[in-house]
Chains A and B, each alone.
Chain A
Amino acid sequence: MYSFTKQLISPVFIQCECGRDFLQEEMYCCLACQISMCRFCTQNDVSLLICRNCHEITQWNDQSFITTCQNCYECPVCKSVLKKQIDQDKVISFYCSFCFYSTKSIDCQDVGIQQLTQKLNQLQKNETENKQYPMWYQSLKDSEAKVIQLKKQKQQKMFLAKVKNSSRSERIRNYSQQEIEINQQQREKQIIFDRYNLQVKESQLNLKDYEYKMAKKPLLIPQHVQLFSKKTRKCKKCQKMIVQIQLDKNERGTKKLVMSISYFHYDYTPFITLQKIKYTNKDKSEAKIMILIQNLTKNQFDCQLLPLQQNILEAFKLVKMNNLPSPIFGFKDINEMESAKGDQLKNQHEFDGVVSVPKDCYHKAKQ
């Protein structure tokens, strides 16, 4: 899934329980467990399948094994969707608008679409059968190679047994120079015969019999387009639905995808932004940051700031905080604010903090 952390839209991130950082808009929340979580901490289940070309929507069942669209094809070279092409003779074929591949190269063209799809499905079946033969032959060759290896091991054992039982004079044998040259010539000839698949029979050179024909080049056959899936999200602890997508039919009969259930983090929590970062010293070792907490939702709720642990304070080197609101502060309903007049109602809280900046940070930012 795509993440926005690389683009650095805003420097405010939320740390999930799993340790990853996300934007405030990317988090989900479970009201029953009162926890906000990231997409890795939710449970995903497939609910719908969509084709990216014809937009056919089908519901997913445990018993359905369909993963491809039966009407659409994709190019075997560049994986883009194929389009119909009609000639002057009213002959239909598929072609790719990016790499100019066409089914005419496979001799697949016909007057009707159903006949054309039958030809393509038949070619796909034949290709799978052709792939099974070389796999079967290779398994036979491997078994034969094992048998040959076992025979060689037996011959070596026999030879070693002879050498042990023979006398010393028989073991020691000096080859004459003629014997060495003859053996070397035979080895060189054997290498050439094996390279060109030749055989010596009765003082005549003959070609060996091909036991296995060379495999044909694979045909470029278009495949069916794979379907995309839409998923629902659940809380892992309480198994309650967080995000659900459903089909909706309009008056015209067209299908649309609609989110029926959605619990996002920004709908139930205040929105934090940073404003105005200034250096307080000439040495640029301390910076003052203004933090703003807003209520963008139209609900009323109370917040509480909890004290941080000392490990985190030492890591971020927080010096001091000013204008902190009371430990429990609240946001009021916007609808009441608009109707009320003269009341000192607040929809946002500001406070600032001073943070110590390491020495290398300034030079890195300039680079």
Chain B
Amino acid sequence: MINLNFMKLQLGIQSVERIQVVGKCIFLHNVMMRGDLAKINFGKHVVIQDSVILRPAYTYAVPKDSTNNKKIIKFSPIQIGDYVMIEENCVIQASKIGSCVFIGKNCVIGARCIISENSIILADSIIPPDTFIIANSVYGGKPGIHKYETPETTSIIQKNRLLNYYKNFKAK
């Protein structure tokens, strides 16, 4: 099997060297990936839809070799797992997204967030920075609050959905 990655020509990618893609990923129209700030790693069977922005977040840190104890800005990398779907018009500054995650439309995910596996983020939600989202949970609202629990078999539902999406996808 050939691991094909589908990408549109009108993408806003910066510094392609720092972006790692495993395979079988789909990137649609007007996706912006800021690889010049930090690394971005993708898993397999990832789908990113129109006009999504992937921007690494920064933290203040004191380097070990410094003598003045002055703080320096550091950008943290983004790590995205397998079978992830991100819908349109999202702004993502999270540091880690687990596997089998579904993110709805028009979401804003704050800086240094950690989204664990099998979780769902509803559309039109804003998640504050430095949040830790537990596995098998549903977050939504402004600000994002824990609302429901997902069933134990969400990983299989998400995998079947994305496998069918990759099979039926036709590049123009």
Q: Write the residues of chain A forming the contact surface with B, with a CB cutoff of 8 angstroms.
A: 1-2, 4, 9-10, 23, 25-26, 39, 50, 52-53, 55, 78-81, 83, 96-99, 228, 243, 259, 262, 264, 266
Query: A2-B120, A97-B128 are known contacts. Are A266 and B134 too (CB-CB below 8 A)?
Result: no
Distance of A105 Cα from B41 Cα, bound (Å): 42
- Taking a contact as CB atoms closer than 8 A, the residue among B129, B134, B143, B150 that contacts A228 in the complex is B134
- CB < 8 Å neighbour of B151 from A2, A55, A80, A228: A2
- B143 with A2: CB separation less than 8 A: no
- Closest residue to A233 on the B side, CB-wise? B152
Contact with A26, one of B148, B151, B161 (Cβ below 8 angstroms):
B151
From B111, which residue of chain A is reached at the shortest CB distance?
A: A97
Which of these, B132, B145, B146, B148, contacts A1 with CB under 8 Å? B148
CB distance from A254 to the nearest CB of B (A): 14
State A23–B160 Cα separation when bound (angstroms).
12
Task: Please report the C-alpha to C-alpha distance between residue A266 and residue B156 in the assembled complex, in whole angstroms.
Answer: 10
B100 contacts A by Cβ under 8 Å: no
A and B contact pairs by CB, cutoff 8 A, 13 listed = A1-B150, A2-B138, A23-B157, A26-B151, A26-B157, A55-B132, A78-B143, A80-B128, A96-B128, A99-B143, A259-B152, A266-B153, A266-B156
Q: Bound complex: CA of A247 vs CA of B12, how far in Å?
A: 45
Q: Could you list 12 further interchain pairs (A-B, Cβ under 8 angstroms) beyond the known A25-B151, A97-B129?
A: A1-B148, A2-B147, A26-B151, A53-B132, A55-B132, A78-B143, A79-B143, A96-B128, A97-B110, A98-B110, A228-B146, A264-B153
Looking at B132, B151, B161, the one whose CB has the most chain A CB atoms below 10 A away is B151
The reply to whether A52 and B151 contact each other, CB–CB distance below 8 Å, is no
Residue of B nearest to A229 (CB): B149
In the bound complex, residues from chain A placing their C-beta under 8 Å from that of B156 are 25, 266
Shortest B112–chain A CB gap in Å is 9
- B residues in contact with A83, CB < 8 Å: 130
Q: Which residue of B lies closest to A262 (CB)?
A: B152
Q: Are B143 and A243 in contact, CB atoms less than 8 angstroms apart?
A: no
B131 CB within 8 Å of chain A: yes
Q: Which residues from chain A contact B128 at a C-beta distance below 8 Å?
A: 78, 80, 96-98
> What's the minimum C-beta distance from A297 to chain B, rounded to whole angstroms?
12
Interface size counted on chain B using CB atoms at 8 A: 23
Name which residue of chain A comes closest to B147, CB basis: A2
Contacting residue for A2 out of B129, B130, B148, B161, CB 8 A: B148
B134 touches A39 (CB 8 A): no
Asked if residues B149 and A1 are in contact (CB atoms below 8 Å), the reply is yes
CA distance A52 to B146 in the complex (A): 9
Also in contact, A26 and B153, with CB within 8 A (given A79-B145, A97-B110):
yes
Contacts of A10 in B (CB 8 A): 160
In the complex, are the beta carbons of A98 and B143 less than 8 A apart?
Answer: yes
Q: Give Cα distance in the complex from A10 to B150, angstroms.
A: 18
A154 to B33 Cα, complex, angstroms: 83
Partner of A243, one of B131, B148, B152, B161: B152
B116 to chain A, nearest CB (A): 10
CA distance A81 to B157 in the complex (A): 31
Across the interface, A80 reaches (CB within 8 A) one of B138, B143, B149, B153, namely: B143
> Given A2-B120, A9-B157, are A81 and B152 also a contact pair (CB < 8 Å)?
no
Checking B130, B134, B150, B152 against A97 with a beta-carbon cut-off of 8 angstroms, the contacting residue is B130
Distance in Å from the Cβ of B142 to the closest Cβ of chain A? 9
- Chain B min CB distance to A80 (Å): 5
CA distance A97 to B110 in the complex (A): 10
Chain A residues whose C-beta falls within 8 Å of the C-beta of B147 in the assembled complex: 2
B153 touches A25 (CB 8 A): yes
- The answer to whether A50 and B134 have CB atoms under 8 Å apart is yes
Instruction: State the Cβ distance, B92 to closest chain A Cβ, in Å.
Output: 17
Q: How far is the CB of A11 from chain B (nearest CB, A)?
A: 13
> Closest 4 interchain pairs by CB?
A98-B128, A2-B148, A25-B153, A2-B138
Instruction: Determine the residue in chain A with the shortest Cβ distance to B126.
Output: A98
Per-residue A-contact encoding for B53-87, CB less than 8 Å = 1, 0 else:
00000000000000000000000000000000000
Which A residue sits closest to B144, measured CB to CB?
A80
Among residues of B, the one whose C-beta sits closest to the C-beta of A271 is B160
Q: Which residues of A contact B134 (CB under 8 A)?
A: 50, 52, 55, 228
Chain A residue with minimal CB distance to B161?
Answer: A9
Residues of chain B with a CB closer than 8 A to A97's CB: 110, 128-130
User: In chain B, what residue has the closest Cβ to A257?
Assistant: B135
A55–B135 Cα distance when bound, in Å, is: 11
Question: What is the distance, in angstroms, from B156's C-beta to the closest C-beta of chain A?
Answer: 5
| Residues of A contacting B150 in the complex (Cβ-Cβ under 8 angstroms) | 1-2
Determine the chain A residues whose CB is within 8 A of the CB of B152 once the complex forms.
243, 259, 262, 264
What CA separation (Å) do A96 and B130 show in the bound complex? 10
